[in-house]
């Protein structure tokens, strides 16, 4: 504990901060346009608050309403900041990449070749790969779930009512586990033999 004189001296140097908490869910567009906030901050607040809930046409209309901010962000923060806004719009909405590029090009009064080439190389390719990966993962999960249910039926028929922990273990098992347990069901004398490590 510091002596009172030293504590008072340090207290004078301690910053006095006030906190501002914004409830974005309650904000209107007009309240998110504030003096003192950088254009990038204003645009970020608007995007976070509204884009996720907008249909494709509404996204494009909103960007046109926010054109002045978008131009300011492009001027002050550069193309990477504009790319970030476009990427966010693509990630949280169903807006067509080509329509987004067209609107942004008109707003910025220049062709947005860099955005489209980036989209073509990464976003659109990633989206296609993500769909393929999602299908493959879903197929593998469905296969494992089906196999687990078959094993549970076989175990129930062979050994009677199954304890809850066995049911959970089978449903959580990997494909390798399920294969091993399937091979053991016919020869195992007890339920414990099926799961012996």
Inter-residue contact 94 to 56 (CB < 8 Å): yes
C-alpha distances (whole Å) from 144 to each of 94, 123, 136, 168 are: 32, 31, 12, 13
What residues does each domain of the chain span?
A: 22-125, 139-195
pLDDT digits (tens, 9 = 90+) for 68-95: 999 999 989 888 888 888 888 888 888 8
Distance CA 98, CA 12 (A): 57
Of 125-129, 140-144, 160-164, the range with the lowest mean pLDDT is: 125-129
Mean pLDDT confidence for 44-72: 92
Tens digits of per-residue pLDDT, 91-141? 888 888 888 888 998 999 876 555 555 555 455 555 555 555 555 666 666
**Cα–Cα distance, 59 to 96 (Å, whole number):** 10
Q: Quick check: pTM over 0.75?
A: no
């Amino acid at each position: 504990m510091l002596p009172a004189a030293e504590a008072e001296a340090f207290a004078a140097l301690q910053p006095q901060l006030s906190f501002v908490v914004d409830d974005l869910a309650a904000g209107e567009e007009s309240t998110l346009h504030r003096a003192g906030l950088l254009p990038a901050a204003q645009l970020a607040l608007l995007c976070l608050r509204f884009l996720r809930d907008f249909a494709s046409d509404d996204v494009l209309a909103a960007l046109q309403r926010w054109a002045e901010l978008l131009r300011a962000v492009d001027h002050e923060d550069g193309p990477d900041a504009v790319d970030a806004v476009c990427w966010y719009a693509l990630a949280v909405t169903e807006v067509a990449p080509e329509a987004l590029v067209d609107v942004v090009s008109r707003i910025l009064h220049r062709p947005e070749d860099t955005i489209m080439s980036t989209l073509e190389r990464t976003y659109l390719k990633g989206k296609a790969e993500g769909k393929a990966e999602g299908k493959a993962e879903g197929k593998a999960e469905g296969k494992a779930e089906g196999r687990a249910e078959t094993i549970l039926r076989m175990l129930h028929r062979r050994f009677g009512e199954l304890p809850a922990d066995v049911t959970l273990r089978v449903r959580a098992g990997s494909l390798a586990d399920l294969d091993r347990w399937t091979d053991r069901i016919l020869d195992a004398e007890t339920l414990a033999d099926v799961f012996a490590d």
